[in-house]
Structure 1
Amino acid sequence: MSSVQRRVQEVIDGMVASGDERGVQVAVYQGGRLVVDAVAGVADPGSGRLVESGTPFYTYSMVKGAAATLAHIVGGRGLFGPDTFVAELWPEFGVRGKEKVTVRHVLDHTAGVPGIPLDTRVEDLCDWDRMCAAVADAELWWEPGTKVGYHAYTFGYIVGELLRRATGKPISQLLYEEIGVPLGIADEIYFGMPVEQHARLARLEDAPAPEAAEGGGEPAVDPDLPMFRSAPMATFPTAALGNRTDVLAADIPAGGKTTARAMARMYAALLGEVDGVRLLGSEQVDAATALSSSGTDEIFGVPTAWGLGYAIGGLSGELTEAGRAVFGVGGAGGTFAYADRARGIGFALAKNRLTHDFASSQKVIDVVEEELG
């Protein structure tokens, strides 16, 4: 057992033993080779089923990285480019001031369409045509390209509909054909997951709310944040939402169901070849991961920085030379996946306890970078 594998295993075993986490997966590729494949804990407390390397987790936004990758794969074939107007492919979108929204604006979260209707039901999230019609009818929150704000749900629907209009294929089919099959992970990464596969999934659970912790304290979230105007509370990421059969089966490409191994392998295949497969050329990766937008996020009120579909700077968000080499996407609940061009690393951590921070991911990343830096 390598030193990095042993140390990561010790860290995640400790997280589970302490009760901080229930079930965890970590995978790391370096130089196209799997160097960490570690699991700990329980996938389903009800049955006692243990986490395995092939256990998929609903990881919410972490799989936005796969949606972005598909946009670059398909766009790289000349079907659209970063400066293509969304309305060129999707005419219904070009109303209410959205005529000049470009693919770049969508990918770097400056499109100005961060919200879904506040009367959206969970059942509506599962209805592709209904949600795309709602997004197409939306009014701008700001002039495209002038501000940056996280497009939590709308990113997935807009990217997915662009891809469908360009190729005639739903985003789940493209994920299977363009990433799943070539990388040998077709049974480990999904947007909509077939119902017959749901028994393989880890079962999500909510961590205690921060204000309920010992010593009390202020609520962790400002109730006046625009995020509460961007979607109804019923659609916010929770265990109950992520365990629903209809949600798991639906294409909601703001998130997805995946193993850590699949996401780490995808990011590794953006940096170079993995078993002879590379998803994007180096020039495409340069363009996709160059800083495209940054500033205070209009939805969450925190500093943010984006390339084209990937957050830049890792969990710290630092835009130092080292930070700019890191690109990826994290998910509500504390999951995270990224590539580090300087270290040649593809990393992913998946887990089933939805915590309110990225502390577990950061602990593991610190060990990995110390060992592989």
Structure 2
Amino acid sequence: MDGDWESLRADVRRTIDELIADGRESGVQVAAYLHGSPMLDVHAGSADRATGRALGGDTPIWSASTGKALTATVVHVLAERGELDYDLRIAEVWPEFGRHGKERITLRHALTHTAGVPVLPADVTPEDFTDWDRMCAIVADSEPIAPPGAVSAYHAWTFGWLVGEVVRRVTGRRVSQVLAEDVAGPLGVADELYLAVPAADLDRLARVEDRNLSALFAFASANLPHFDRVAPAGVRPGAEIGSRADVLAAEVPATGTVTARALARMLAALIGEVDGVRLISPDRLRTVTTPDGPSGPEWVFGQQTTWGLGYALDDDGSFGAAGSGGSLGFAYPELGLTVAATKTLLAAGDGDPMEDLRVRIRDAVAARR
């Protein structure tokens, strides 16, 4: 199989090199698995332009909301073992959360962004994000914007504490610990998939920078009435947050720090077997990729969004997650394909080169079926 995809690899490499030469990108990783085996692993550019350190395939990059795929996967692995139930009422294991009429909110609502608690205080700070108990107390005391299940509202930040605290209360382990021990560890990528980066590994990370993502946030703040309520000015999910060592080391499981190859490997182990490891059963895969939640425009961005249990569902038959600035990870169960991409220069508004590469890889595989 290795030689079958040489032209595709060369095409992806050429595209990335051109993007870097044009200044649209600085450091990029793109990886894909096909039927449980790696088919593509391309990386180029700089991990840190200030020092000139090169970006390797094993260099983790903060990848914003693409990390939600890691958190959701933790839940499904635990559910596969019978340790979690999607219809668990959160207040049953986290009594404080039941305040202000939230006692009927379930883990399913949290996974499908219909819990009704996407809002954070306007004055929340990055320092607050490093205090797990403080952030959970804020979420527990929040007042819902709608009854559970009634409104699709992207829980940009609160998704992580909602899901992560349920995991902690049920298992006694932090969600980052479960990821390392039960997901990344068995796949041999515990040093490339993080929900909280160990202090000893911080120097290995690439350094993310803003290209024009901050301009998009400014536009959203001015034009979308709910944007600042979900992503207050001090904690917008861009380079300022993603380059802070204290936040990277903290448990903030609405985001993640990954390599493209490790993310593609994890997704491959959801849809099939990878070196003897399959994370969930075919039946559970069908369950978690079935559309769930209300139809209609999403509350924050006003777009039509379809959610499975923790993953975005796309019209092309894929499921996964994408992050602010251009990272992504998606799986195509019917094709046996997974594709992941992450990058250091966070951008928006001038096309989406990583999405273009994802489509190019998908189409190349689909054409050979």
The normalised TM-score by structure 2 is 0.94
Shift of 1:83: 1.4
Amino acid at match of 1:67: T
Equivalent in 283, 300, 319 of residue 327 of structure 1: 319
For residues 75 and 95 of structure 1, what CA distance do their matches in structure 2 show?
A: 26
Q: 1:190-243: CA deviations, max 9, x gaps? A: 11111221111111111136979xxxxx94664343011223211002212211
For residues 122 and 210 of structure 1, what CA distance do their matches in structure 2 show?
A: 16
Asked if residue 346 in structure 1 is aligned to residue 338 in structure 2, the reply is: yes
What are the within-5 Å matches in structure 2 for residues 284-323 of structure 1? Answer: 284-293=284-293, 294-313=295-314, 318=315, 323=316
Amino acid at match of 1:240: E
- Summarize the Cα distance change of 1:219–1:100 in structure 2 as closer, same or farther, 3 Å threshold: closer
Amino acid at match of 1:24: V
Q: Is the 8 A contact 1:270 1:285 kept in 2?
A: yes
Shift of 1:331: 0.3
* DSSP-derived class of the 2:325 partner: coil
- Summarize the Cα distance change of 1:356–1:172 in structure 2 as closer, same or farther, 3 Å threshold: same
Asked if residue 368 in structure 1 is aligned to residue 361 in structure 2, the reply is: yes
Q: Is the 8 A contact 1:16 1:41 kept in 2?
A: yes
Equivalent in 139, 147, 153 of residue 157 of structure 2: 153
* DSSP-derived class of the 2:186 partner: helix
Q: Is the 8 A contact 2:269 2:279 kept in 1?
A: yes
- Summarize the Cα distance change of 1:38–1:251 in structure 2 as closer, same or farther, 3 Å threshold: same
Equivalent in 4, 10, 22 of residue 8 of structure 2: 4
RMSD: 1.6
Asked if residue 233 in structure 1 is aligned to residue 225 in structure 2, the reply is: no
The residue number in structure 1 matching 2:33 is 29
Q: 1:111-163: CA deviations, max 9, x gaps? A: 00001222211100110000001101110011110110100111001111000
Shift of 1:78: 2.3
Q: Is the 8 A contact 1:225 1:300 kept in 2?
A: no
**Gap regions ≥5 residues in structure 1:** 213-217
The residue number in structure 2 matching 1:268 is 268
Amino acid at match of 2:98: G
* DSSP-derived class of the 1:332 partner: coil
Q: 1:252-271: CA deviations, max 9, x gaps? A: 00101110011100100001
Q: Is the 8 A contact 1:67 1:253 kept in 2?
A: yes
For residues 213 and 182 of structure 2, what CA distance do their matches in structure 1 show?
A: 39
Amino acid at match of 2:365: L
Shift of 1:11: 1.4
The residue number in structure 2 matching 1:215 is none
Give me the identity figure in percent: 43
For residues 303 and 16 of structure 1, what CA distance do their matches in structure 2 show?
A: 33
Asked if residue 73 in structure 1 is aligned to residue 77 in structure 2, the reply is: yes
Q: Is the 8 A contact 2:220 2:227 kept in 1?
A: no
Q: Is the 8 A contact 1:114 1:230 kept in 2?
A: yes
**Gap regions ≥5 residues in structure 2:** none
Q: 1:14-44: CA deviations, max 9, x gaps? A: 1111111110000100100000000111110
Q: Is the 8 A contact 1:210 1:220 kept in 2?
A: no
Q: Is the 8 A contact 1:86 1:101 kept in 2?
A: yes
Q: 1:300-355: CA deviations, max 9, x gaps? A: 11111100000000xxxx3xxxx2x2100000111110101121111100001111
Amino acid at match of 1:54: D
For residues 158 and 59 of structure 2, what CA distance do their matches in structure 1 show?
A: 27
Q: Is the 8 A contact 2:214 2:238 kept in 1?
A: no
Asked if residue 194 in structure 1 is aligned to residue 195 in structure 2, the reply is: no
